[in-house]
Structures are given as C-alpha cells and as structure tokens.
Amino acid sequence: MANGNSADRRRERRRLARETPVSRRDIVLWCLAGAMAIVLIFFRKTPVWTTTLLAGLWVLLAIPVLHTKFVTAALRGWHKVLNTGFALLLVTAGVASFGLNVWPETGLSTMSDKDRDELIAKLKTEAHPWPVKLMCPPNDEKDCVVASQFVYVFGMAGWPMVHQAVDREMNGVPHAGLYFVLHSTADIDYNDPVFRKPGVGVWTETPTSYYVIKNVLDKLGIKSEMVVGTAFPEHTLGMYFGVGTAKQ
C-alpha cells in the first residue's frame, strides 16, 4: 500500500509539473539574464568584470532551467541526476560560447579622451622625467599607429622626448608586445659561463619615470616588460611598441 501511495504521489508531481505554467519568477530571471547579456556587450569590459557577469549570467539561467519540465518531471534517482546534469551542461556550454564572443580583446587601442587625460595628469606628477624615446618595428603600421598617440600624451604632460615622433627601429632580439628599454652596465653574453649561472644578470638604473608610466598602463590593462642593453643611451627611457601591441 505504501508503495502504491508513493507511486501515486510521483505521478501526481509529474502531472503538476507538466501543467504548471512558467512562473513570474522565471520570467524575471530570464529578463535579468538578457539584461546582463546586453551589459556584457555594451559595457566597457575588463576580464574581471566580464568573468563576474558571466558567472551571474550562468546562475540566472540555471535557476529557471532547473524549473523546466525536463528536470522537474524526471523520476528520482539516476534519471533525475542525469536530467539535471544535462540541463546544467547545456547552460554551461551556452554561457561559455557567449563568453568567447564577448571576452574583451587584449592589447592597446586608441585611448579614450578620459584615459588620455588621466594618463597626462598622472605623468605631470613626475618632477624629473627622463627623456622618452618611442619606437616601433619597421613595416608594422598597426602597432606604430597606437604608439603615435603617446607623442601627444608625453608632449602635453611636459616630458622631454628624444624625437617628437615614433622611430622605426629593428630589434636584434625581438619581443612581442609593449616593453620598456633602459641602458645597462653590460650585455648578457651566454658565451661567458658566468651568465649561465642562475640569478646572474646586469645592473641598470631604473628611474621613477618608468614606474609612473608602468603603473598607469597596468591600470589600463596593458601588460609591459623591460629590456636592457649597453647600446641604449643612458638616462633615457625607451618604449618599444612591438608586434602584437595593438588590439588584434
């Protein structure tokens, strides 16, 4: 008798699940998910912001999906587990696919007026800036174009520049992306056994000008590295906009 009552209750739950219309809560959650999708597309995006919104989008989609007939009408046990897992897998796949399309591009683009003004204001706080030399690879128009905006930025900030232009120069040991160039007391020579020892390097003077620019670029989400060598002039801060600096 108990088994019969249990079976009857399960059938009744499945019948109610089939007949229950979509609730107002589900509609609200679907609308919120759509709103978040719009925000993801049109809001100024950073990886952290995008990841947070994608996580919220997954939750808002998962809740109404778990209330669909496919899940609620399933029998207990493995049938219920498999249906729930499959539903969540579809949500995850959909959000992941959407995330790939809205994920923010990496690299440097033409700065907005706000970013440019903030950068100029920050550069003006440096009391004794080193002369800046802007460089990019020959025949690399895209990266040279994004470098050219810094002529205006450093000029308006009152920083001295070696040339008020972007010099097209070859680099014997190319590096991808944006990197700073400074003078060093010696060049690393791997023919010398000394330089093959762990932790051995060369000395270079790092000015406060470098940290001012790097901190601003970090806030803009622009990664940068440092390269040193004896051939580069002393007390000069180089910025080389290598291949891949510009947004692809």
114-127 pLDDT, tens digit each? 888 988 999 999 99
What is the pLDDT, as a whole number, of residue 155? 95
Quickly state the pLDDT bin for 1 (edges 50, 70, 90): very low
Q: What is the distance between the alpha carbons of residues 119 and 215, in angstroms, rounded to a whole number?
A: 10
Residue 242 has pLDDT above 60, yes or no: yes
For the chain, the DSSP string reads: -HHHHHHHHHHHHHHHHHHPPPPHHHHHHHHHHHHHHHHHHHSPP-HHHHHHHHHHHHHHHHHHHHTSHHHHTSPTTHHHHHHHHHHHHHHHHHHHHHHHHHSPPPSB-PPPHHHHHHHHHHHTT-SSPPPEEEEE-TT-HHHHHHHHHHHHHHHHHT--EEEEEEEE---SS--SSEEEEEEBSS---TTSGGGGSTT----B---HHHHHHHHHHHHTT--EEEEEETTSPTT-EEEEE-TT-B--
In this prediction the pTM is 0.61
What is the pLDDT, as a whole number, of residue 236? 95
- Bigger pLDDT: 33 or 224? 224
Q: What is the distance between the alpha carbons of residues 40 and 215, in angstroms, rounded to a whole number?
A: 26
Residue 37 has pLDDT above 70, yes or no: yes
What is the pLDDT, as a whole number, of residue 209? 93
Share of the chain above pLDDT 70, in %: 83
Mean pLDDT throughout 17-29?
64
**Backbone conformation region of residue 157, classed left if phi is above 0, alpha if psi is from -120 to 50, else beta:** alpha
What is the pLDDT, as a whole number, of residue 248? 61
Most confident of 29-43, 106-120, 131-145, 170-184: 131-145
Q: What is the distance between the alpha carbons of residues 153 and 142, in angstroms, rounded to a whole number?
A: 18
What is the pLDDT, as a whole number, of residue 33? 77
Nearest-10 crossing angle of helices 24-42, 78-102:
30
Chain segment 76-113, per-residue pLDDT in tens: 778 888 888 888 998 899 888 888 887 776 667 778 88
